[in-house]
A and B are shown apart, each in its own frame.
Chain A
Amino acid sequence: MKKFLKALPAIIFSFFIALMLILFIALPKASYSETEKRYLAQAPKFTFDSFFSGKFGEEFETYLCDHTAFRTTWVGLNAYYNLAVGNNGADGIYHCNNGYLINDPCDSSKLHSNIEVIKEFADKISTDTTVLIAPSTGYICSDVLPKNHREYHDDELFTDMESTLSSSAHFVDVREAFKKEYQDGKQIYYKTDHHWTSEGAYTAYKELSKELSYTPIDKSEYEITSYDGFYGTTYSSSGFWYTKPDTLEVWDNKANDGHIHIEIQDGADTIESDDMFFYSHLDESDMYPVFSDGNHPYTKITNNSKDASGKLLIIKDSFAHSLAPFIADHFEETVMLDMRYYKQSVSKFVEQENFDKVLVLYSIDNLATDTDIAWLE
């Protein structure tokens, strides 16, 4: 017995590594990971070429890592372990008060050159251009951040963006409005996702009214429906599995029923809908695609109600998805282009289509790290 107990570490060790091997072999292999939002590696094909080039070995290792038993449990253990040893934000996401999971300050080295690209574009086209950049969640909700966190440089970056763009475009600075709404107890950003909430998008919509020349619709005019159980991107990349889900609100303007038509082009596919929202996505854990059906290169919303007039082009990231339903109430035609997928000349497109207004809408984190807007011309 004594001998057995003395050897216990070795017995458990052997048992553990053998068990992990057996589970790897025996467990069914999923092809898609819901939490990671990506396709998992498939078993590599063995060929002499792939073996001798080392490719097989490499791919097999990725395959093994992707299909380790209880993968998400391990990731969670790692996240909470880091938190326990005082390293909040070890993987780039702060575990904050009130259930917020917030991205740490982004690397802003590309921001200035991207703003320069926008400025050149605005100078080039004759259409009136407005730029709105959503501040970072950590900057607005600074009171919930852990005591020890890296600095959010939004103030400096906004000053720089504003002065760079001042002679070329309208720069709509929503910092004060966001802070005020947040202090009034409104939830401007999701707790488990990097996007702004419908409340946040609505605030931005009000701030844009002067530049885009419309009278914002009052909050009471919307029919607001809440959906529980929303787990967004910061949740799935953080590993903090014990975080409570968010509530997602859909603000529906019933007055536009029957007037709206959406046409989405993605590669060879065209999606058409007469509803502003894509409710089927509410069944998924990430509900944000309920707005504009998620990421697509080209989206056109037409509105044939008598209050709508003019044509608006939005060059955007996914923050625009929840803003577009508000704005589209005022324009006969609202077109959204996603520079990550749209690779043609935008200035030509503006001329051809005779837009009345152009809105450039990004979140600061995306714009600061984006490598595709450089194609804007």
Chain B
Amino acid sequence: MVFSSLLFLFLYLPVVLLIYYITPRKFRNLLLFIVNLIFYGWGEPVYVVLMIFSTAVDYTCGYFIAKYRETDKKKAKGFVLASVIINLSLLGFFKYAGFICDTLNFLPFLNIPSFQIPLPIGISFYTFQTMSYSIDVYRGDAPMQKNIITFGTYVSLFPQLIAGPIVRYKDVAYQLDHRKETLDDFTKGVKLFCVGLAKKVLIANQMGALWDSILATGQDNGWLGSWAGIIAYSFQIYFDFSGYSDMACGLGNMFGFEFLKNFNYPYISKSITEFWRRWHISLGTWFREYVYIPLGGNRKGIKRQIINLLIVWFLTGFWHGASFNFIFWGLYFGIILILEKFVLKKVLDKLPSFVLHIYSLIIIVFGWVIFYFTDLTQMGEFIVSMFSFGGIAFSHDALSIVISYLPLLIVACVASTPLFAKLYAKVQNKKFMWIFETLFCVGVLLLCTASLVNQSYNPFLYFRF
């Protein structure tokens, strides 16, 4: 189930909210666990088994890690390893097995029958979350969760289940048992949810339609036409993903949770290093804490640090999808980050900020080309079209499409900066602010419902993660 659907908005959410708030506090985790499984299993009920399996395994591992971590380090370590291996195996089997077979089949002497398993939604997110639990307990960063239902609630928590943020256990450990739902938090959650819904339905979907129309013209769009298309895609992916995170955080608030921010205006970055501190923060944090630092980080010399960075960025890329282009995409950023750290730093420090903005944006947008095209031939053709400066700038149709979406493109540009947030912070406590907040929420609800009913365009991008 996805948030931006009529099923979620007008059936699942009202029913779950109602039952949740009439349920006595001590049963609320159990209730959440049940409704999480319904949410998760709606499309593929069979995979609920996977979720329960994951819960049971990591609960057991956590139990033994806590038991042995003071007395028998070796055993404790063994259980951490078991948890990591099981989680990675799940991920490996369901997400990467098909890809690995297909790749191995390039070898002349191999002929493994190719197979496709439907990817269990959110598996990339919840396996990472459960690993964080075992590791946090081992490190003493979080207490063990004694109640398996509460633990299951964490693993399957529906707001962030299918598209993040990746909530580390230690960040919500306390909230799982002691959260207090308040009207203020609920209101905050509703407002944040509306912001996220607007980002997803009113901006991301429209930018996606623009990008698809550009791709569908089936003719030379002109080099500027190609750039316009990939810029639209850049907006689509940002507003889709960050909109989803906002909805997740907002829903969390409605149920008394507080998740960490996942996006912090990534497109205003002045370097790629900064971009990755602002983009999908929970994923970057996860890789830093559970891969980069354990590998030795920057404490073992420059050579080792570079290797560590490449490993992390290979994995980051690969995490985004089982296809070569995602690996290239990760390594592309890895290499640029290494260059920025060791070579470009001095140059970048001296350049005026508008140059740095342009530098970063070009690299980011170009990165989305690598990210989008799973077919490397098509990717090559598209890159050629972007740099065919000798040809036309815009074909008639590409220009016409871009003009149709121009007002929304401008809104997307402005909404990528903190301008609205800054304005809001200024007037937030004004007396009549409730009028504007209410109008905003009503407007978003009406327009998003209209758009969802129209169903002309509501793809969901993250099933592949």
Contacts and interface: CB of A to CB of B under 8 A. Distances in A.
B190 A89 contact: no
Contact of A68 (B10, B13, B405, B437): B10
Contacts of B15: 21
A54 B45 contact: yes
Nearest to B446: A77
Contact of A13 (B42, B190, B396, B456): B190
B407 A9 contact: no
Contact of B404 (A5, A9, A64, A86): A86
Contacts of A87: 206, 404-405, 407-408
A58 B451 CA distance: 20
Interface residues of A, number: 48
A268 B240 CA distance: 51
Contacts of A24: 10-11
Contact of A86 (B407, B434, B455): B407
Contacts of A21: 10-11, 14-15
A282 B51 CA distance: 58
A18 interface: yes
Given A3-B183, A17-B9, A88-B404, A9 B194 contact: yes
A218 interface: no
Contact of A57 (B42, B401, B446): B42
B52 interface: no
A6 interface: yes
A148 B403 contact: yes
Contact of A52 (B45, B186, B209): B45
Contact of B408 (A17, A61, A85): A85
A12 B18 CA distance: 15
A316 B70 CA distance: 83
A13 B6 contact: no
Contact of B450 (A61, A65, A78, A150): A78
A77 B447 contact: yes
A91 B458 CA distance: 13
Given A8-B434, A9-B187, A57-B43, A16 B445 contact: yes
25 contacts: A7-B184, A8-B437, A9-B194, A10-B183, A10-B191, A12-B445, A13-B190, A17-B14, A18-B14, A21-B10, A21-B15, A53-B45, A54-B42, A54-B43, A54-B46, A61-B6, A68-B449, A78-B447, A78-B450, A78-B453, A86-B406, A89-B404, A148-B404, A150-B396, A151-B396
Interface of B: 5-7, 9-11, 13-15, 17-18, 42-46, 183-184, 186-187, 189-191, 193-194, 206, 209, 216, 218, 396-397, 400-401, 403-408, 434, 437-438, 440-442, 445-447, 449-451, 453-456
Interface of A: 3, 5-10, 12-14, 16-18, 20-21, 24, 51-54, 57-58, 60-61, 64-65, 68, 71, 74-75, 77-79, 81, 85-91, 107, 109, 148-151, 239
